[in-house]
Amino acid sequence: MRGTLILMLAAPILIVSTVTAQDSPVVGLNPLTEVEFSQLSQRDPNPLSEKALAIHPDQWKHAETEHFIYHFVHGYVATPVSIEAEFHYRVVAKELEREQLTTDIKSHIYIFESPEEWQQFQTFGHLEQWTGGIHSAGSLFIQRDPAYKFSNNSLGHEIVHLVLHRFYTDGIPCWLDEGLAQFISKDAHASYQRARGYISKPHSDSIAPADLIPLATLVTITHPPSERVHTFYDESERLVRFLDTTDKPSFLKLLDALARHQPFETALVQFYPAQFSNVAALEEKFREYASKDFGSSLQQASN
Ligand SMILES: [Zn+2]
């Protein structure tokens, strides 16, 4: 178990399945149509964009879909990324009831292939330990080794961040951003797999009661704490799941209030008046929910 956790932390993006290229579930893809850089519909104002495209500038190709612009080396690496990106866009918009929201700003995704170039680029941005990607001001930078088949929810997780950033450009609290990224991408990953003929159920990790971070602390954390990174992500995901399933309309109002920088306790009491009179009342019910099935999921988690 411990060994698995360390491996996941050290190299999360290298978690691969044994599915070979011939078994690929992604069949009949419409390959991305390459577009000249000068012909792209939008520019990326992110300073990291310039840094990325300056690394072997002659290698980069470009393409667009409805909500994203891609910068990549090989089309066969970028095409599956584009399918997952648009898939997750729809899932997030539906989950947050933002399907009617129209914005023509596209998010940029940079796909590195060479490990050396990726390492070189990492010095410019902050690597998310959970996924191995770099999300910065609405743009995403990732590495994909074409030799591997990626089968976890790490790309989905990053795409959720991109879409959340588009809907809430001023940012949302860290627990909510990471919790939503996990909550939505885990469920979406399972349905994505099911749509391609795999048997897959979303898996939410429960937390040992003694490990839980007190809610008053959790909601004020501004960056995933590296010494408790697993607990932070799992607990944030469970809290989002709990608030969402307790009362979805209230959850969406809470999300909007927190995006407008309202304090957590004030917004909680305002939008869940019948369920939680204060954070302590939420904590009491949440602790039980967060630790539910703890122990029985250990086997599954260590697989
Ligand atoms: Zn994240």
Q: Please state, in angstroms and rounded to a whole number, the distance separating the CA atoms of residues 128 and 118.
A: 14
Which pLDDT score is estimated for 152?
A: 79
Q: What is the pLDDT along the chain (303 residues), one digit of tens a residue?
A: 333 333 333 333 333 333 333 334 444 567 899 999 999 999 999 999 999 999 999 999 999 999 999 999 999 999 999 999 999 999 999 999 988 777 778 999 999 999 999 999 999 888 887 788 999 989 999 999 877 666 678 899 999 999 999 999 889 999 999 999 999 998 888 877 787 787 777 778 889 999 999 999 999 999 988 889 999 999 999 999 999 999 999 999 999 999 999 999 999 999 999 999 999 999 999 999 999 877 664 444 443
The CA 293 to ligand 1 mean position distance, Å, reads 25
Domain positions in the chain: 17-167, 175-302
Amino acid making up residue 131? T
Q: Does domain 17-167 have CATH number 3.40.1380.10?
A: no
Which pLDDT score is estimated for 195?
A: 76
The CA 294 to ligand 1 mean position distance, Å, reads 23
The CA 130 to ligand 1 mean position distance, Å, reads 6
The CA 140 to ligand 1 mean position distance, Å, reads 11
The CA 128 to ligand 1 mean position distance, Å, reads 6
Which pLDDT score is estimated for 189?
A: 80
Quick one: which of 127, 106, 108 has its CA closest to 118?
Answer: 127
Q: Please state, in angstroms and rounded to a whole number, the distance separating the CA atoms of residues 170 and 152.
A: 29
The CA 194 to ligand 1 mean position distance, Å, reads 24
The CA 225 to ligand 1 mean position distance, Å, reads 12
Q: Please state, in angstroms and rounded to a whole number, the distance separating the CA atoms of residues 24 and 155.
A: 17
pTM: 0.83
Q: At what angle do helices 229-246 and 174-195 cross, to 10 degrees?
A: 80
Is the CB of residue 157 less than 8 Å from the CB of residue 136?
no
The CA 162 to ligand 1 mean position distance, Å, reads 10
Q: Residue holding tokens 């390959």? A: 31
